[in-house]
Chain A
């Protein structure tokens, strides 16, 4: 891990002046280091503000809330959106297709989808966060309240009185 960060520091030193081609190291909570381009890391508002601040770019960013599997997937998204241009219609269509496939793959494993959502929220990656939350919203749209409680692991904590009130509001509305 220490060597990973050292290598990144060397890389950062070499290309310090050229922002965009600088490399940034992100470390997951398991200590695994991921080296990404600055453009890619800039997808995250959290990291972007840190980089702009000028602090600890060469030392890398520890991300204690994100595990390696999730971080790898998040970086996959950031690479696609950070390193590619989206000026022409074709490029935009390609990105939209990437998003669609990306989310379809995630949708198969709900627990992992939630992990990615939380990581996106934590790193403030707006595009990814909107993508995953919209996906979750789409899946729960047609469910009953009971099914949602099971899906999200929510405990039923409404009192009989609350229920009565909800019922009343619904019939009179």
Chain B
């Protein structure tokens, strides 16, 4: 099995290497022309010297000596026209022949093709893997994924709203962020019941008492997170996904609920362990357990004491250095009902009138980037929308909702709009989603994960066997049999989505009976 794995990865590497070769592309008409022209100065100069003619014949021939920058520029032109061409010699005749043969066809240089692919939505890009080798290599390259992410950030933001249907399947609804018009819906292949807010196009799906997984609804790839010892001891756990910009790592924060307190654990995606970052000694009351994730930080509102709804402090967790800190809320809103909201990479505070208060206006405050002070942004006189929680802000809209409702308020004019959610579905998560994000973090780690897991299983099998029999001779048999077990396990892993769905349905039908 291991041998197979090694062979497989080596084959992959060999494939990759062989693909590195420049692919010969038909030069478009002006490539050839450009090349001839770019080399013209050399000839022209030589001819000029021969004839003793010192006057520049063309601007092109006059320029080269002018500045070193020009020489560089000319080199760049040369590079541009010669890239993708395997031809080494300057033989113009061969060049012309090749040029004529392909003049009927139009083609774009590969680097431009690559940029164009970056503009396409994720599902389409995946479909285009089968266009040609170059496109396929492009699409799986990490640098392309970054390029695609940047494009998505600029052009393809969407609002994603995840709802769970009664039988446990999750649907993703997408809306245009400006008009809030419905765009499309996609099934999310996960059988978990809870979900974190989307982060760079990925979400963390989990069960309160079970394992968690990170999944990408676009590529439909899953990565199961390692099990922590405290999962089974704690009453239940919640998981939140965040991204560290400086190291490009994704981290999952787990909030474990014990009878009297909470603990925080962190797992960096790609590692196999959970680290406890906050133990049981601090006894603070979180207003809501769902944090507001702003860039590299997670924020929770802290309650003053058990009997009140008032908050004076915000608990912040920095994902980069994994340290907690506190932040004060503005003095003037301490006696109000507060909520934190994320809006375009900034932390906002939404203060609402408490029950029975004389005033009816809500306020929006913005935390400055240093988290030193708050700036008052808006007053909204909105009709109260009971039982809702704010999801996020985008431009001048504040999105909020409950399990059954999805609402947005225009901050500037105070209008309230309702977005229809099909009956029988509950909203489990919502946020800004980079549409078609091809985040490959899951691919990158799942293979090495499998290898480590397998090595560990084989090792532990050997260990048990040696402890029992104290003989080394039959050890290889154990290795072989454990390989067989693993192989069977792998067959299980290969279950298609339909199989999982069918199995899930059977299970739930059984549970109903």
A157 to B132, CA, bound (A): 6
Q: Among the listed B63, B80, B133, which residue makes an inter-chain contact with A62, where contact means beta carbons less than 8 Å apart?
A: B63
In the complex, the answer to whether A162 meets B112 with C-beta atoms within 8 Å is no
Residue B128 contacts which of A66, A121, A148 (CB distance < 8 angstroms)?
A: A148
Residues of A with C-beta under 8 A to B73: 46, 50
Q: Which residue of B lies closest to A144 (CB)?
A: B127
A140 touching B30 by the CB < 8 A rule?
Answer: no
Could you say which of B60, B106, B115, B136 contacts A133, with CB atoms under 8 Å apart? B115
**Is the CB–CB distance between A65 and B81 below 8 Å?**
yes
Q: How far is the CA of A27 from the CA of B61 in the complex (A)?
A: 12
Decide: B112 and A121 in contact? CB cutoff 8 A. yes
- List B contacts of A141 (CB < 8 A): 120-121, 124
Given the interface pairs A55-B70, A148-B128, the reply to whether A117 lies near B108 with Cβ below 8 Å is yes
In angstroms, Cα B127 to Cα A153, docked, is: 18
A66 and B112 within 8 A (CB) = no
Cα-based distance from A110 to B77 in the complex (angstroms): 24
**The residue from B102, B115, B126, B136 contacting A158, defined by CB atoms under 8 A apart:** B136
Distance in Å from the Cβ of B412 to the closest Cβ of chain A?
Answer: 16
Q: Once the chains are docked, how many angstroms separate the CA of A171 from the CA of B126?
A: 12
| Chain A count of residues within 8 A CB distance of the other chain | 55
Against B, the Cβ 8 Å flags (1 = close, 0 = not) of A23-34 are 001010101000
Q: CA separation between A136 and B106, bound complex, in Å?
A: 13
Say yes or no for A77: interface residue by CB 8 A criterion: no
Count the B residues whose beta carbon is within 8 Å of the partner chain — how many?
57
Output the least CB separation between B426 and chain A (Å).
Answer: 26
Q: How far is the CB of A31 from chain B (nearest CB, A)?
A: 7
Tell me if A55 and B66 are in contact (CB < 8 A): yes
CB 8 Å contact bits of B26-59 with A (1 = contact, 0 = none): 1010110110011010000000000000000111
**Other-chain contact of B106, A46, A110, A148 (Cβ < 8 Å):** A110
CA distance A173 to B87 in the complex (A): 41
Write the chain A residue with the least CB distance to B129: A166
Residue of A with least CB distance to B58: A1
> In the bound complex, do residue B127 and residue A145 qualify as a contact, i.e. CB atoms below 8 Å apart?
yes
Is B60 a contact of A64 with CB atoms below 8 Å?
yes
Among A62, A145, A153, contact of B130 (Cβ-Cβ < 8 Å): A145
Interface residues of A in 86-101 (CB under 8 A from B): none
Which residues of chain B are within 8 angstroms of A5 by Cβ–Cβ distance? 59
Q: Are A166 and B130 in contact (CB under 8 A)?
A: yes
Is B511 positioned at the interface, with any CB of A under 8 Å from its CB? no
Q: Mark A143-173, 1 if CB is under 8 A from B, else 0.
A: 0010011001111111000110010011111
Say yes or no: is A134 at the interface (Cβ < 8 Å to chain B). Answer: yes
Residues of A42-93 at the interface with B, using a CB-CB cut-off of 8 Å, are: 46, 49-50, 53-56, 59-62, 64-67
If over half of A's interface residues share one DSSP class (helix, strand or loop), that class is named, otherwise mixed; here it is helix
Whether A65 lies near B77 (C-beta < 8 A) is yes
Do B67 and A56 touch (CB < 8 A)?
yes
Q: How far is the CA of A160 from the CA of B180 in the complex (A)?
A: 44
Q: For A67, A148, A149, which residue has the most chain B Cβ atoms within 10 angstroms?
A: A148
Q: Is the CB of B67 within 8 A of A66?
A: no
Whether the pair A149, B105 counts as a contact (CB closer than 8 A) is: no
Task: Determine if A122 is an interface residue (Cβ-Cβ < 8 Å).
Answer: yes
Question: In the complex, what residue of chain B is closest to A6 when comparing beta carbons?
Answer: B59
Q: Are B120 and A64 touching (Cβ within 8 A)?
A: no
CB-nearest residue of chain A relative to B109? A118
* B127: chain A residues within 8 A (beta carbon): 145
Question: When the two chains form their complex, are residues B112 and A118 in contact, meaning their CB atoms are under 8 A apart?
Answer: yes
Residues B120 and A140 in contact, CB atoms below 8 Å apart: yes
Q: Which of chain B's residues 448-485 have a Cβ closer than 8 Å to chain A?
A: none
Q: Is A56 a contact of B66 with CB atoms below 8 Å?
A: yes
For the complex formed, measure the closest distance between the CB of B78 and the CB atoms of chain A, giving whole angstroms.
10
Are B128 and A114 interface neighbours, CB within 8 A? no
- Asked if A10 is at the interface of the complex by the 8 Å CB criterion, the answer is no
Across the interface, name the chain A residue whose C-beta is closest to B133: A157
List B67-113 residues whose CB lies under 8 Å from chain A.
Answer: 67, 69-70, 73, 77, 80-81, 102, 105-109, 111-113
Chain B residues near A (Cβ < 8 Å): 23, 26, 28, 30-31, 33-34, 37-38, 40, 57-60, 62-63, 66-67, 69-70, 73, 77, 80-81, 102, 105-109, 111-113, 115-117, 119-121, 124, 126-136, 155, 219-221, 494, 496
Contacts A67-B33, A170-B126 known; list 15 others, CB within 8 Å.
A2-B58, A29-B30, A55-B70, A56-B66, A64-B38, A65-B34, A114-B107, A117-B112, A118-B28, A141-B124, A145-B127, A152-B108, A154-B131, A157-B133, A166-B130
Q: Show 13 A/B contacts (Cβ-Cβ < 8 Å), sorted by A.
A: A1-B59, A29-B37, A50-B73, A56-B66, A62-B63, A64-B33, A64-B60, A65-B77, A114-B28, A133-B119, A140-B120, A148-B128, A153-B107
